[in-house]
């Protein structure tokens, strides 16, 4: 007997999958009699009338209808989870943080979320929230965000993410995306510890960027995205479901597992992607290209080319540019940049301080770039081909200014001396 594959390859594909043979209705979405008496439910991720190439929806066939639940009441856990609009005054200052410390008390992934900041407004479906997590216990309960899609970037510790549509194993250097509304729970594989980053995308769902003159191939190739096969549990035991709804947390308890989808078909589903599969493109002549060449996924806004949020990575790559200052240049950008580091070192921060699990923020129009150590090293270097290896930084790049939370502004992990990395540059000398 051949084993059913755990994952279906391809980005945004229309997947048909069943965990029990014969469970998936054929030829119609909503038959009068569903196999085995399963209940049909449509889950939409875009308006019914969204253009076909953007339309996302899935048909679920489950043991009980999702609608069969008691009322939700407020949940007051997850003490550091926040939503946009953020009422803290925006700051032009450059910021950098040490990694999140491990929590003292036993903390699951949901309660371990700490919001650093965000943009836009959850009610208007614009912007993002940026969270980090440090967790020490498996989730027994299920969670979903009605507010946005979740891009999960583990930094330390592999996760198993059980979702309504199937299970995702996601280790550091892989990412997972959970669509808005999809229920999931996170289990920790690294002796019960997991740390990483989460982008909650209130805007248009992530998609692959256009490739323009690059052509039909390159960057993140569609077939490397993996969607789980149907999986379910048939458990008649109490299970708490927590939802994030317009920034507030709400809970209810079912008398059964919410992970009871026996079969599904559609193109709205969680997926994972291995960052090592990214086909990195870079200059083979001169100059340091704009980091848009490293875009894995983009959430477009209403203005073409100006993203609600891009997810950009800085993977291992050869640096061969001739007669060029090879690291990122000094710059002031209209877009705002929140960065994290999954592994290794980042080539613009040789001076230290930007470490795996840490984070930095460079908001709109505020100057940043190589620290002095990176600058001096790059100016002095003999420009042989060099491989930048064993590293993976990333950036959430957004058109809106990121407002940081009170937690992020007052955390002892904030590096109050970050400005100093640019303090000691000597003045240029003009000819007399």
Ligand X SMILES: O=C(O)Cc1cc(O)ccc1O
Rounded to the nearest whole angstrom, what is the least distance from the CB of residue 51 to ligand X in the complex?
32
The closest residue (CB) to ligand X is 328
Q: What are phi and psi of 96, to 5 degrees?
A: -150, 145
- Cβ nearer to Fe ion, comparing 18 with 337: 337
CB 261, CB 61: distance < 8 Å: yes
Query: Using CB distances below 5 to 8 A depending on partner kind, what does residue 387 bind out of ligand X, Fe ion, none?
Result: none
The Cα–Cα gap between 157 and 4 comes to 27
Report the residue from 80, 368, 399, 400 that binds ligand X according to the rule CB under 6 A.
368
How far is residue 6's CA from residue 167's CA, in Å, rounded to a whole number?
A: 8
Which of ligand X, Fe ion, none does residue 348 bind (CB under 5 to 8 Å by kind)? ligand X
Nearer Cβ to ligand X (40/366): 366
Dmax over Cα atoms in the chain, in whole Å? 90
Map residues 252-291 to x or -, x wherever contact with ligand X holds by CB under 6 A. ------------------------------------x--x
Among ligand X, Fe ion, none, partner that 395 touches (CB below 5 to 8 angstroms by kind): ligand X
What token pair was written down for 233?
């549990």
256 is in an annotated binding site: no
3-state SS, one letter per residue, for 14-56: CEEEECCCCCCCCCCCCCCCCHHHCEEEEEECCCCCCCCCCCC
| Residue whose CB is less far from ligand X, 131 or 362 | 362
Instruction: Report the residue number, 260 or 337, with the smaller CB distance to Fe ion.
Output: 337
Other CB atoms closer than 10 Å to residue 108's CB: what's the count? 24
Rounded distance between C-alpha atoms, residue 26 and residue 75, angstroms? 40
Contact 117, 130 (CB under 8 A): yes
For position 83 contacting ligand X by CB under 6 A, the verdict is no
Q: Residue 291: name its binding partner from ligand X, Fe ion, none (Cβ under 5 to 8 Å by kind).
A: ligand X
127 binding ligand X? (CB under 6 A) = no
If one asks whether residue 149 binds Fe ion (CB under 5 A), the answer comes out as: no
φ, ψ of residue 124 to 5 degrees: the values are -100, 5
Q: Does 348 bind ligand X (CB under 6 A)?
A: yes
Catalytic residue check, 288: yes
Residue that the structure tokens 């877009």 belong to: 335
Query: Least CB distance from residue 417 to ligand X, whole Å?
Result: 18
Q: Give CA angle at 242 (241, 246), nearest 5°.
A: 140
> Quick one: which H or E segment has residue 79?
none
What minimum distance in Å lies between the beta carbon of 333 and ligand X? 6
Site for ligand X, residues 369 to 428, rule: CB under 6 A: 395
Cβ proximity to ligand X: between 136 and 398 the closer is 398
How far is it, in rounded angstroms, from Cα 19 to Cα 263?
6
**Which residues are the active-site residues?**
288
User: Can you give the binding site for ligand X, defined by CB under 6 A?
Assistant: 288, 291, 328, 331, 333, 337, 348, 362, 368, 395
Binding site, by residue number, is 368
Binding site for homogentisate, by residue number, is 368
């Amino acid at each position: 007997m051949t084993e059913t594959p755990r994952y279906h390859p391809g980005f945004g594909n229309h997947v048909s999958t069943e965990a029990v043979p014969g469970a998936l209705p054929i030829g119609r979405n909503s038959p009068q009699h569903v196999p085995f008496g399963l209940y049909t439910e449509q889950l939409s991720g875009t308006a019914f009338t969204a253009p076909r190439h953007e339309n996302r929806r899935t048909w679920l066939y489950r043991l009980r209808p999702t609608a069969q639940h008691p009322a939700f009441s407020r949940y007051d856990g997850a003490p550091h989870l926040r939503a946009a609009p953020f009422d803290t005054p925006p700051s032009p200052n450059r910021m950098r943080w040490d990694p999140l410390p491990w929590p003292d008390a036993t903390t699951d992934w949901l309660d371990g979320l700490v919001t650093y900041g965000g943009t836009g407004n959850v009610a208007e479906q614009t912007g993002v929230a940026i969270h980090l997590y440090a967790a020490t216990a498996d989730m027994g309960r299920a969670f979903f965000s009605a507010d946005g899609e979740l891009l999960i970037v583990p930094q330390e510790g592999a996760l198993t993410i059980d979702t309504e549509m199937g299970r995702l194993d996601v280790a550091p250097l892989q990412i997972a995306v959970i669509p808005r509304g999809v229920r999931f729970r996170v289990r920790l594989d690294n002796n019960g510890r997991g740390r990483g980053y989460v982008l909650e995308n209130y805007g248009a769902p992530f998609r692959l960027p256009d490739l323009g003159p690059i052509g039909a191939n390159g960057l993140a190739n569609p077939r490397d995205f993996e969607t789980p096969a149907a999986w379910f549990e048939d458990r008649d035991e109490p299970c708490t479901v927590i939802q994030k709804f317009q920034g507030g947390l709400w809970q209810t308890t079912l008398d059964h597992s919410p992970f009871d989808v026996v079969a599904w078909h559609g193109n709205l589903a969680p997926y994972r992607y291995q960052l090592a599969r990214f086909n990195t493109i870079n200059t083979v002549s001169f100059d340091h290209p704009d980091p848009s060449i490293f875009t894995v996924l983009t959430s477009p806004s209403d203005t073409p080319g100006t993203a609600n949020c891009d997810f950009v990575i800085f993977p291992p790559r050869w640096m061969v540019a001739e007669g060029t200052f090879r690291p990122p240049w000094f710059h002031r950008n209209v877009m705002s940049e929140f960065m994290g580091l999954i592994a290794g070192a980042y080539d613009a921060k040789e001076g230290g301080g930007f470490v795996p699990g840490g984070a930095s923020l460079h908001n709109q129009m505020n100057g940043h770039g190589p620290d002095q150590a990176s600058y001096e090293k790059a100016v002095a270097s003999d420009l042989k081909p060099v491989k930048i290896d064993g590293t993976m930084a990333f950036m959430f790049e957004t058109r809106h200014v990121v407002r940081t939370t009170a937690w992020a502004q007052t955390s002892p992990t904030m590096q109050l001396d970050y400005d100093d990395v640019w303090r000691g540059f000597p003045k240029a000398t003009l000819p007399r």
